[in-house]
Structures are given as structure tokens and as C-alpha cells.
Chain A
Amino acid sequence: AQSVSQHNHHVILSEAASLELGCNYSYGGTVNLFWYVQYPGQHLQLLLKYFSGDPLVKGIKGFEAEFIKSKFSFNLRKPSVQWSDTAEYFCALISSGSARQLTFGSGTQLTVLP
């Protein structure tokens, strides 16, 4: 069975601070990894995705994530956060054994203070 762990439940930062949200997964085979963002009261939107190739993936709004296979990690980063980045962030994966089923982590609530 596959699983995704996000250990930071709530992160509070000031504007311009750097961000790193942790994501670890459990699955022994090939995975496709995603980060989604959910702004207050809205639906999930895709930030970035990793399928293969360069393990450093750049997404929208200045976000990037690095796939480290040896650590089963896919951490999300942004060098300088803005107040508008306040949202909940979900890491997710599709494994080679799960057809198209997207398994989500529990989410990390990011609050950016102005």
C-alpha cells in the first residue's frame, strides 16, 4: 500500500521568509508526485508535478520541489513567501500500482503574516 506523510500540520511564516514543506511517501516502485494548493474556500489546484527526468521541478507562483528518491521525499520550497500564499498545501502521489488513484497527504496549512 502507498501512503504520503506531511509532518508539518501548520506552518506560520512572515512575508519574505523562505518556505520548505516536507513530504515523504511510502511505496517501493515508480511514483508520480504532485503538490496541490487549496486557497481558503476554494478547490485544489495543481502547483507542480514530477514524473521523471530532472528531480528539481518548477511550478507556478515561484514554487519548486525536489524529488529525492533515496529519501522518498518530495519537499516543496519557495525562496520568499507572500501573504497571498496563505493556503493549505497537499502532497500527493500516483503509484505504478494504483491505476489513476491519487493518494493525498494530510495537508499543511501555511499562514503567512503580513
Chain B
Amino acid sequence: DAGVIQSPRHEVTEMGQEVTLRCKPISGHDYLFWYRQTMMRGLELLIYFNNNVPIDDSGMPEDRFSAKMPNASFSTLKIQPSEPRDSAVYFCASSPGFWGYTFGSGTRLTVV
């Protein structure tokens, strides 16, 4: 199994541009999570899906952030328009149940 796959690994963009982060979960995992990691706030849960349906998006910071999961093998996190304070590492994770998550390698986003 290739694990949770995220792309791109690094993204540098200018303020105001749209950014799309991608995630492919492990096959058979019913849950998908998007986390953001910053020095100031640590790991924050942004949103999670169960069977492709968004369950809790209370962690999404603003309307500029949106996430979709059109099918069981793909999810996107979009920021439009991006701002410098969105700079962070964004992790996707998937889980089949209670025995812990598998994290992707993350996308390091820099907004200049």
C-alpha cells in the first residue's frame, strides 16, 4: 500500500491566488481528515469526512477555505483567495476505525 498520498509536497503562491491541495486516502479507509500544522497553533483539525460526506467542518478557519471529497479515493482542500497567514503544513490523514490514523507527507504551503 502506498499510504496516504498528498500533492503537491511544496507550494509557493502569491497572496490572492487560489490554492488547491490534493489527497488520496488509503483504499478502504472510510474516514478522511485535513489538519493544519503551524508553530503557533500546533495541529488543528480543519474538517473530516466519513464515506465522502463532510461530518465536521467547524475547524475550517474562514469561508476562504473549502474541502470536497467527490469519491472515496480523492479529496481537495481549496483556499481562495490565499493569504500569508495561511502558510502552514497541511496534512491529510485517513482511518478505517479506532486504531489510529495514517498521515500523508503533508503539503508545505507558503503564501507570499
Stretch of B14-22, B62-70, B72-80, B96-104 that contacts chain A: B96-104
Once the chains bind, are B42 and A104 in contact (CB under 8 Å)?
Answer: yes
Q: How far is the CB of B53 from chain A (nearest CB, A)?
A: 12
With A101-B48, A106-B42, A107-B42 given, is the CB distance from A43 to B103 under 8 Å? Answer: yes
Contact with B along A81-96 (1 / 0, CB 8 A): 0000000001000100
Once the chains bind, are A43 and B106 in contact (CB under 8 Å)?
Answer: yes
Once the chains bind, are A104 and B43 in contact (CB under 8 Å)?
Answer: yes
Count A-B contacts at CB 8 Å. Answer: 50
Once the chains bind, are B98 and A102 in contact (CB under 8 Å)?
Answer: no
State which size class the interface on B falls in.
20 to 34
Q: Contact partner of A100 among B43, B91, B98, B102, CB < 8 A?
A: B98
* A60 lies within 8 A of chain B by Cβ: no
Once the chains bind, are B99 and A100 in contact (CB under 8 Å)?
Answer: no
- A44–B93 alpha-carbon span in the complex (Å): 10
* B7 lies within 8 A of chain A by Cβ: no
Which A residues from 20 to 43 make CB contacts under 8 A with B?
32, 34, 36, 42-43
Q: Contact partner of A51 among B31, B98, B105, CB < 8 A?
A: B98
Neighbouring A residues of B105 by C-beta, 8 Å: 42-43
Q: How far is the CB of B37 from chain A (nearest CB, A)?
A: 9
Q: Would you give 20 A-B contacts (Cβ < 8 Å), ordered by A?
A: A32-B98, A43-B91, A43-B103, A44-B103, A49-B99, A49-B100, A94-B98, A99-B50, A99-B56, A100-B48, A100-B98, A101-B45, A102-B45, A102-B93, A102-B95, A102-B101, A104-B43, A106-B42, A107-B42, A107-B43
